[in-house]
Structure 1
Amino acid sequence: MLQINNMNVYYGNIQALKGVSLEITEGEIVTLIGANGAGKSTLLKTISGLLKPKQGEIVFEGESIGGKVAQAIVKKGISHVPEGRRVFSNMTVEENLELGAYLRKDKQGIREDFENVYQLFPRLFERKKQQAGTLSGGEQQMLAMGRALMARPRLLLLDEPSMGLAPLLVKTIFRIIEEINQSGTTILLVEQNANMALSIAHRAYVIETGRIVSAGTAEELNQSDQIRNAYLGGH
Structure 2
Amino acid sequence: MLKVNDINVYYGNIQALKGVSLEINQGEIVTLIGANGAGKSTLLKSISGLLKPKQGDILYEGVSIAGKPAQTVVKRGISHVPEGRRVFANMSVEENLELGAFLRNDKAGIQADFEKVFQLFPRLKERSKQQAGTLSGGEQQMLAMGRALMARPKLLLLDEPSMGLAPILVKTIFDIIKQINKDGTTILLVEQNANMALSVAHRAYVIETGRVVLSGTAEELNASDQVKMAYLGGH
TM-score (norm 2): 1.00
- Which position in structure 1 is the counterpart of 2:216? 216
* 1:48 counterpart = 2:48: yes
1:27-65 per-position Cα deviation (integer Å, ceiling 9, x unaligned):
000000000000000000000000000000000001000
- Which position in structure 2 is the counterpart of 1:194? 194
List alignment gaps of at least 5 residues for structure 2: none
RMSD: 0.4
Give 1:161 shift. 0.1
Query: Letter of the aligned partner of 2:2 in structure 1?
Result: L
Alignment of 1:78-117 (within 5 A): 78-117=78-117
1:196-222 per-position Cα deviation (integer Å, ceiling 9, x unaligned):
000000000000000000000000000
- Which position in structure 2 is the counterpart of 1:69? 69
Alignment of 1:11-30 (within 5 A): 11-30=11-30
- Which position in structure 2 is the counterpart of 1:163? 163
TM-score (norm 1): 1.00
Query: Letter of the aligned partner of 2:225 in structure 1?
Result: D
Give 1:136 shift. 0.1
List alignment gaps of at least 5 residues for structure 1: none
1:206 is paired with a residue whose SS is strand
1:97-127 per-position Cα deviation (integer Å, ceiling 9, x unaligned):
0000000010000000000000000000000
- Which position in structure 2 is the counterpart of 1:125? 125
2:164 is paired with a residue whose SS is coil
- Which position in structure 2 is the counterpart of 1:153? 153
2:233 is paired with a residue whose SS is coil
Q: Distance in 2 between matches of 1:144 and 1:102?
A: 14
Give 1:158 shift. 0.1
Query: Letter of the aligned partner of 1:209 in structure 2?
Result: T
Alignment of 1:178-193 (within 5 A): 178-193=178-193
Q: Distance in 2 between matches of 1:107 and 1:137?
A: 30
- Which position in structure 2 is the counterpart of 1:57? 57
- Which position in structure 2 is the counterpart of 1:2? 2
2:23 is paired with a residue whose SS is strand
